[in-house]
Amino acid sequence: MKYRIGVIGAGSISEMHLNAYQAHPDVEIAAICDVNEERARAKASEYGASRVYTDYRELLAQPDIDAVSVCTWNNSHAEISIAALEAGKHVLVEKPLCKTMEEALKVQEAVKRTGKVLQVGFVRRYGANAEVLKQFIDNGEFGEIYYAKASWLRRLGNPGGWFADIERSGGGPLIDIGVHVIDICWYLMGKPKVKSVSGNTYKKLGNRSNVKHIEFYKAADYDPSFNTVEDLANALIRFENGASLMVDVSFTLHGKQSGVEVSLYGERGGIILEPELKIITEKYDTILELAPQMDHPTFDFNQGFANEIAWFVSAMAGEKETLSPVEDGVEMMKILTGIYESARLGKEIHF
C-alpha cells in the first residue's frame, strides 16, 4: 500500500520534502497546494501530482489523502496543521511549529484529540551526525552534558519576503535558524526543563540588500524592500538541572564569514556537532580528538530530509514514534517567545 501525500506550500523548502517523498517506495505524491497557482502547477507537473489546489481546505477535503507536509509561512502553520489533523491527516509541519505559545498549545491539543501523528520539522535531529552522536550520549560516554554553545551567524542572508515580515514569520534569525540550533542542543542534552531565558535582539544593519557578489537562501517571493525583523539575536538559556545553553544567530552581521558552530560539553568528554562531528576526550593523561568516519560528518540537507520523511512514514505506519513530537515544538516555542520577551523587556524571564 502507498501513502498518498499532499504538500501545502510549494516554495523553496517544499522541494526537499518532494524529493524525499518521491524517493520513498511507500509514498505517492498526490496533491500540491499553494496560494500561487502557477507555482503549485509547476511543482505538480515536476513531481507527478495529479491534483492542484490554491485553497488548503479543498486538499484536506480529499478523503484518500493520508498525510500532508505543511511548508507555508510560519503564520499559517498552526491553522493548517489543526485543520489537517481534524480532517484525519497525519502532519509533518515545518519548523517553527507556529508563531506563538497560544497557537502551539492549540496544535498540541488537536494532536491529543485526533490521535494523528504530528511531526515537527526539526530536521537536524535526523542528520547522520546527530544520529551517531545520540548513541554515544545515550550510552553515557560524555556523562552529564552541562553546557552547550550554538552559533549560526550569517554575515549576509536575510531570505527576504515573508521571512522579513514579522507578522508572517514571528521574528528573524532567532525563530528561523536559531530554532534549529537551540533544538538540536536541547535534544542532545536530554530535553532538560527550561528554567529561564535572557536574550537580546538587535536591528542595526537592515537586510543589506545593497551587497553584491554573495548568494544566499531566499524566499520564493524574495522582496528586499520590506524588513521588520531583527538581524541579530543572542541568549543564555538556563535549565532546571543546572545546565545552560548560549546561542547567537544572525541574518546579517559584519563578520568575516558565515557559519554554523554547535558544541556540547560533558563531564567525560566534549562534542563538536557542527561544522563537523568531532569527539573530544581524555585517555592516559592525554586529550584526544576523535573524528567519526562517515560520508556526511556535517549536516547534509538531502540526507537529513530523506531520514526525516522516512521517519514520518514509519510513524504514520505505526512502526515507531516520531522523533520530533508536538511537545518538543511547544517547548521550543516557549524558549523562542521567551527570548523575544526577555529582549523586549530587557530582563531575564523565569518560567
Ligand X SMILES: NC(=O)c1ccc[n+]([C@@H]2O[C@H](COP(=O)([O-])OP(=O)(O)OC[C@H]3O[C@@H](n4cnc5c(N)ncnc54)[C@H](O)[C@@H]3O)[C@@H](O)[C@H]2O)c1
> For residue 319, what are the contacts with CB-CB under 8 A and spacing of at least 6?
none
Residue ranges with strand state E in the chain:
3-8, 27-33, 51-53, 67-70, 90-94, 118-121, 145-153, 194-202, 232-239, 244-250, 259-266, 270-274, 278-283, 286-290, 349-350
Choose, by CB under 6 A, the member of 7, 13, 27, 237 that binds ligand X: 13
**Other C-beta atoms within 10 Å of 246: how many?**
15
Binding window for ligand X (CB under 6 A); candidates: 70-78, 103-111, 231-239, 268-276? 70-78
Instruction: Indicate the residue among 72 and 119 with the shorter CB distance to ligand X.
Output: 72
Contact set for ligand X, span 219-258 (CB under 6 A): 219-221
> For residue 214, what are the contacts with CB-CB under 8 A and spacing of at least 6?
156
Regarding 89 and contact with ligand X (CB under 6 A), the answer is: no
Instruction: Indicate the residue among 90 and 95 with the shorter CB distance to ligand X.
Output: 95
Residue of closest CB approach to ligand X: 11
Which letter does DSSP use for residue 209 in this model? T
Choose, by CB under 6 A, the member of 91, 110, 123, 272 that binds ligand X: 123
d(CA 224, CA 12): 16
Binding window for ligand X (CB under 6 A); candidates: 71-79, 227-235, 276-284, 333-341? 71-79
Which letter does DSSP use for residue 226 in this model? -
Nearest in space to 191 (alpha carbons), one of 298, 335, 313, 311: 335
Instruction: Indicate the residue among 172 and 199 with the shorter CB distance to ligand X.
Output: 172
Residue 105 φ then ψ, to 5°: -65, -35
Tell me if 32 sits within 8 A of 10, measured CB to CB. yes
Tell me if 315 sits within 8 A of 335, measured CB to CB. no
Regarding 161 and contact with ligand X (CB under 6 A), the answer is: yes
- Give how far Cα 29 sits from Cα of 58, 67, 154, 239, 347, Å: 16, 10, 34, 42, 48
Give the interface size with ligand X as a residue count (CB under 6 A): 28
Regarding 160 and contact with ligand X (CB under 6 A), the answer is: no
Regarding 11 and contact with ligand X (CB under 6 A), the answer is: yes
Instruction: Indicate the residue among 35 and 105 with the shorter CB distance to ligand X.
Output: 35
Compose the 171-190 pattern: x for residues touching ligand X by CB under 6 A, - for all others. -----x--------------
Compose the 262-301 pattern: x for residues touching ligand X by CB under 6 A, - for all others. ----------------------------------------
Regarding 12 and contact with ligand X (CB under 6 A), the answer is: yes
Regarding 19 and contact with ligand X (CB under 6 A), the answer is: no
Instruction: Indicate the residue among 8 and 253 with the shorter CB distance to ligand X.
Output: 8
Choose, by CB under 6 A, the member of 4, 5, 6, 8 that binds ligand X: 8
Regarding 42 and contact with ligand X (CB under 6 A), the answer is: no
Residue 28 φ then ψ, to 5°: -125, 130
Instruction: Indicate the residue among 301 and 351 with the shorter CB distance to ligand X.
Output: 301
Regarding 36 and contact with ligand X (CB under 6 A), the answer is: yes
What's the closest the beta carbon of residue 276 comes to ligand X, in angstroms? 18
Choose, by CB under 6 A, the member of 6, 9, 160, 178 that binds ligand X: 9
d(CA 26, CA 49): 15
Regarding 5 and contact with ligand X (CB under 6 A), the answer is: no
Regarding 307 and contact with ligand X (CB under 6 A), the answer is: no
Regarding 152 and contact with ligand X (CB under 6 A), the answer is: no
Tell me if 27 sits within 8 A of 67, measured CB to CB. no
d(CA 271, CA 291): 10
d(CA 33, CA 15): 13
Q: Which residues bind ligand X (CB under 6 A)?
A: 8-14, 33-36, 39, 56, 71-74, 76, 94-95, 121, 123, 161-162, 176, 219-221
